[in-house]
C-alpha cells in the first residue's frame, strides 16, 4: 500500500485523515483523574501523555477545549496520570465513554493529592497543575510531578491506528543504553 500524503499547504485536509496519520504513532494509554474542591471525581482516557522534564519533574497531556471535564481539571489544580496495563482495556473504554459519573461503579482510593488512584495501574504520576497552554482546539496541561510509582512486572496497554495493542519485545534487541542516551540528550 502506498504512503498517504496530506499536504496542508496545498489543500484543506480532512481532520479524519489527519487523525489516521497521528494514529500511526503507537502510544500508551492513560486514565487521567482529578477531584474538584467540591469533591467531584472526574476521569478521562487519554493517550496524549508525555514526559516533559526530569528536573524539575514535569509531564504534559492535552484535553479538548469542549471536554465536559475541563472545568473540573482547571478548578482542581491537581491530577493523576494512571498508565494502564494490557489487562485494563475495559477500564480505558469505560473512561473514554461520556457518562455523568464515571466513578459510580468503582471504589477507588485517593492518592496523596486527593485524586483517584486506579489500582493495578502500570504506573502513576500525581501532579500539581503548573501551567495551561492554549493550542488549537486543545489545552496542554503541564503538571509538576509530586509523587510517582510503577510496576515492573506488568505489561503496558498500547493504542495504535484506532486499536488497542500489546507490546512484544524484539528478540536480541536491548534498548537500555539507547534509552539512557536519549534521556541524557533531552533538553
Kind plus residue range of the DSSP H or E element containing 94: helix 89-96
Residue 136: what pLDDT?
94
Q: What is the arithmetic mean of pLDDT over 44-67?
A: 95
Residue 3: what pLDDT?
86
pTM: 0.87
pLDDT digits (tens, 9 = 90+) for 10-33: 778 888 888 888 778 789 999 999
pLDDT digits (tens, 9 = 90+) for 123-182: 999 999 999 999 999 999 999 999 999 999 899 999 988 899 998 877 777 766 666 666
167, 158 Cβ separation under 8 angstroms: yes
Residue 81: band (very low, low, confident or very high) from pLDDT cuts 50, 70, 90: very high
Residue 50 C-alpha from the chain's centroid: 7
Q: CA 106 to CA 123: how far, in whole Å?
A: 19
Domains in the chain, please, with CATH?
Answer: 27-185 (2.30.110.10)
List 32's β-bridge partners, or say none: 44, 81
Q: Cβ neighbours of residue 115 under 8 Å, at least 6 residues apart? A: 33, 34, 35, 41, 76, 78, 79, 80, 126
pLDDT digits (tens, 9 = 90+) for 85-103: 999 999 999 999 988 889 9
On the question of pLDDT at 119 being above 90, the answer is yes
Residue 175: what pLDDT?
67
30, 84 Cβ separation under 8 angstroms: yes
Grid cell 495501574 in the structure block, residue: 121
| Largest interatomic CA distance in the chain | 53
Distance of CA 111 to CAs 43, 125, 148, Å? 14, 10, 10
Residue 40, C-alpha cell as written in the block = 467531584
Residue 24: what pLDDT?
80
Amino acid at each position: 500500500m502506498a504512503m498517504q500524503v496530506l499536504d496542508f499547504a496545498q489543500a484543506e485536509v480532512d481532520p479524519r485523515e489527519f487523525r489516521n496519520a497521528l494514529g500511526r504513532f503507537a502510544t500508551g494509554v492513560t486514565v487521567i483523574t482529578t477531584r474538584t474542591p467540591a469533591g467531584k471525581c472526574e476521569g478521562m482516557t487519554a493517550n496524549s501523555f508525555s514526559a516533559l522534564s526530569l528536573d524539575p519533574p514535569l509531564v504534559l497531556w492535552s484535553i479538548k477545549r469542549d471536554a465536559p471535564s475541563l472545568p473540573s481539571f482547571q478548578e482542581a489544580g491537581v491530577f493523576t496520570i494512571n498508565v494502564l496495563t494490557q489487562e485494563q482495556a475495559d477500564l480505558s473504554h469505560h473512561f473514554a465513554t461520556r457518562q455523568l459519573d464515571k466513578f459510580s461503579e468503582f471504589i477507588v482510593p485517593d492518592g496523596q493529592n486527593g485524586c483517584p488512584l486506579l489500582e493495578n495501574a502500570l504506573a502513576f504520576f500525581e501532579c500539581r497543575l503548573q501551567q495551561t497552554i492554549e493550542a488549537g482546539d486543545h489545552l496542554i496541561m503541564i503538571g509538576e510531578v509530586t509523587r510517582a510509582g510503577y510496576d515492573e512486572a506488568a505489561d503496558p496497554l498500547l493504542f495504535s491506528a484506532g486499536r488497542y495493542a500489546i507490546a512484544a519485545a524484539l528478540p536480541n534487541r536491548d534498548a537500555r543504553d539507547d534509552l539512557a542516551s536519549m534521556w541524557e540528550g533531552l533538553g
